[in-house]
Amino acid sequence: MSARDRILAKLRANSPSTVGNPPDVAAWYATHRIAENGADKAKRFRHFIELAHAEVYAVSRGGWLQKLYEVLSAKQIGKLLIAPGTAHGARVAAELPGLDIACPAYDTAIESWKPALFNDIPAAFTRARAAIAETGTLILWPDADEPRLMSLVPPLHIVLLDAASIHNTFYEAMQAEGWKDGLPTNALLISGPSKTADIQQTLAYGAHGPKELVVLLIGDEQ
Amino acid sequence: MNAPQTPHTLHFMPSAGFRARAKDVVDNPFLRQSFRGAMDFLMSKRAAQFPDAEELESLRTLGESIRQYNLARLPDLLERLEARLTANGIQVHWAETPDEANEIILGICRRHEAKLMVKGKSMVSEEIELNHAAEAAGIGALESDMGEYIVQLADEKPSHIIMPAIHKTKEQIAKLFAENVPGVDYTDNVDALIQIGRRVLREKFQEADIGLSGVNFAVAETGTLCLVENEGNGRMCTTAPPVHIAITGIEKIVEKLEHVPPLLSLLTRSATGQNISTYFNMISSPRKPGEKDGPSEVHLVLLDNGRSQAYADEQLRKTLQCIRCGACMNHCPVYTRIGGHAYGTTYPGPIGKIISPHMLGLEATKGLVTASSLCGACGEVCPVKIPIPELLIRLREEAFSAPPRANPAMRGQGAGYSGLISAVWRGWAAVYRSPSLYRVATWMGSRLRGLVPSRQGAWTSVRVPLKPAPKRLRDMLKERG
């Protein structure tokens, strides 16, 4: 008998006879979380993610590239990792090199350039698929075009978010987007730059992931 | 002024010596202050996250029902999880004991000729003492959570399941880094210390052949491993190396993805008083064709290690509802005074007292279940409503009643049984049940009080001796007429 069979046999021998009703998660959220309108959701998202030390800039659909350039200039960063297979990445790659920002592309497997990613890339630019107002959280589904390490390794992570894609709660996000029917290799919730309080409960940013998180929020009404 | 280092290098062994270790901490004002300060901080942060008592109560009830519903279906869900993960390309392994789990993990390491494994925070890996096993096999195992990295450098064990280095001051950490990290000068600036850790560990994330992590929730319907963290080291361990091995206890399963949001909210708010952690990392497969990063192999090790014993009993099964937030230890007056190392078990505090007997047997843990004033704080703050005080009383009965006891058998049942103590209590009960015996006994007591010894063991070490009164209440009332 394998360990698997022994464990399952022990559990089965003593399983409760009644299982009980499934927990009603939907009812809890319906009675305990208000559904806000778009502007309020954006405001709440912004409030919480700023509390977690992220920078948020309201931008227009046509004007985010200008703000991206300003952010990089203000931080004196001349190199930005982009995802060339995405619309937003392609747009950056077309425009920013002319303004003296180098835009290396994440277009080969990590094995061929891991040290360079860790040591030579000061910033990366990705899109967020959606967000959560209740906790000030970005939702990213990295994929073949926009790989996982873009939002983790470079010290500055800049994210493009459409305010129309902000949900009230995590629960609402997964229900509305049908997550249970198919999750990607890696789905991520990101709620600020990396941090730790492991030394004497003193909060320090830039633990292992990005030291700074910047959100370009399209359609934020402010 | 530097605080003294913790007196013992700890290897997790049975809780013999619990009293001696507890006394060491109680006598150490630095450690007392560290724990008191940290617990006050964590309690106030948690309280600030739950301003609405009704919301908290209803969310705890929901959390409890989610955990109980999933535990009730555990064997089926484990099979479903395995099938789903396998379909997703994640390899599933089962281990009944810590040795089996280590063998599985080291076997994977050997197959990849691994030299270095970087580890995200995993209490289950502490439970199986993976670092020692890896070291013995010639494989480097490096902790990458800042707190875990610090305790590993100090050759210690975590003293708290959420904040492993809570017993250390920044001055001690500064000294530790200056002495152990090449090229580092003494600094007790916390930001500078964190940047030192970041620099060292970023090298290792690139080098490592294997990334190891724990699991906070495993979702059966989607085949997803969920990890909660703030630092990003968990994401590093699960993304940068070519192989990812996750390890978890068999109880951490939920059937549906929709069970995750309430548990996540309870977890982060109860643990560190955050409305959400910086990262919530959901992994459902290895790297797919065309994807440019992520491990090409992902493994999950499911560990029993005594959990199926707790599962066998309806009351003890509630132990497995735990989501490892640590709120019970943060609110425990005993933990706050003696710290995490005194327990000598992987999981300290109230949850440690009720889960460790299943992992190590009651022979080794019988003292732990008595280390409680039964004040009830742990049960009150538990986000999934584990009745910890009730379970402590139950485990005391299991440990100290005469063997053999009724089904189901717990390892080490009756290990604390003493014929003498048991006879004393039986006599006590007989006297208190019979009015005439009681009258005789108290009459004797008041007349023979001079024979009571002035030294009464542990009692008189800090208290005056117990002595019957010269006159019984009954006699005094009689005199008053």
- The answer to whether B240 faces chain A, any CB pair under 8 Å, is yes
CA–CA separation, A21 and A98 (whole Å)? 62
Q: Starting from the edge strand earliest in sequence, which strands make up the sheet with B217-219, in order?
A: A166-167, A130-132, A137-140, A186-190, B279-283, B224-229, B217-219, B253-254
The chain B residue lying nearest A32, using CA atoms, is B55
Residues in chain A: 222
- The answer to whether B188 faces chain A, any CB pair under 8 Å, is no
Two structure tokens written together for B467: 């002595």
Most A CBs within 10 A among B74, B176, B230, hence the mutation to make, goes to B230
CA–CA separation, B333 and B465 (whole Å)? 26
Closest CB from A15, A114, A202 relative to B190: A202
Contact B235 A189 (CB under 8 A): no
- The answer to whether B193 faces chain A, any CB pair under 8 Å, is yes
**What is the sign, positive or negative, of the torsion defined by CA atoms of B87, B90, B92, B93?**
positive
In the A/B pair of chains, how many CB contacts fall below 8 A?
A: 254
The chain B residue lying nearest A207, using CA atoms, is B231
Could you tell me where the DSSP H helices lie in chain A?
A: 3-13, 25-32, 38-51, 64-74, 87-95, 114-120, 170-176
Q: Are B341 and B6 in contact (CB under 8 A)?
A: yes
Contact B224 A183 (CB under 8 A): yes
- Which is it for strands A212-218 and B91-95: parallel, antiparallel or unpaired? unpaired
CA–CA separation, A166 and A161 (whole Å)? 9
Domain with CATH 3.40.50.10420 in chain B: 70-308
Q: Kindly report the three-state secondary structure assignment for every residue of B102-119.
A: HHHHHHHHHHCCCCEEEE
Most A CBs within 10 A among B76, B291, B304, hence the mutation to make, goes to B291
Most B CBs within 10 A among A200, A202, A205, hence the mutation to make, goes to A200
- The answer to whether B370 faces chain A, any CB pair under 8 Å, is no
Helices (H) and strands (E) in chain A, counts: 7, 10
Q: Does domain B70-308 have CATH number 3.90.870.10?
A: no
Q: H or E segment at B134?
A: helix B130-136
Give me the tens of pLDDT residue by residue for chain B, a chain 481 residues long.
Answer: 344 343 334 444 445 688 899 999 999 998 999 899 999 999 999 999 999 999 999 999 999 999 999 999 999 999 999 999 999 999 999 999 999 999 999 999 999 999 999 999 999 999 999 999 999 999 999 999 999 999 999 999 999 999 999 999 999 999 999 999 999 999 999 999 999 999 999 999 999 999 999 999 999 999 999 999 999 999 999 999 999 999 999 999 999 999 999 999 999 999 999 999 999 999 999 999 999 999 999 999 999 999 999 999 999 999 999 999 999 999 999 999 999 999 999 999 999 999 999 999 999 999 999 999 999 999 999 999 999 999 999 999 999 988 766 656 789 988 999 999 999 999 999 999 999 999 999 999 999 998 999 898 888 988 999 999 999 998 999 999 7
Return the beta strands (E) in B333-402 as ranges: none
Q: What is the CATH number of domain A35-218?
A: 3.40.50.10420
- The answer to whether A189 faces chain B, any CB pair under 8 Å, is yes
Contact B235 A209 (CB under 8 A): yes
Contact B194 A196 (CB under 8 A): yes
| 3-state class (DSSP) for residue B33 | helix
- What ranges do the domains of chain A cover? 35-218
Contact A185 B291 (CB under 8 A): yes
Give me the tens of pLDDT residue by residue for chain A, a chain 222 residues long.
Answer: 899 999 999 999 988 877 778 999 999 999 999 888 889 999 999 999 999 999 999 999 999 999 999 999 999 999 999 999 999 999 999 999 999 999 999 999 999 999 999 999 999 999 999 999 999 999 999 999 999 999 999 999 999 999 999 999 999 999 999 999 999 999 999 999 999 999 999 999 999 999 999 999 999 544
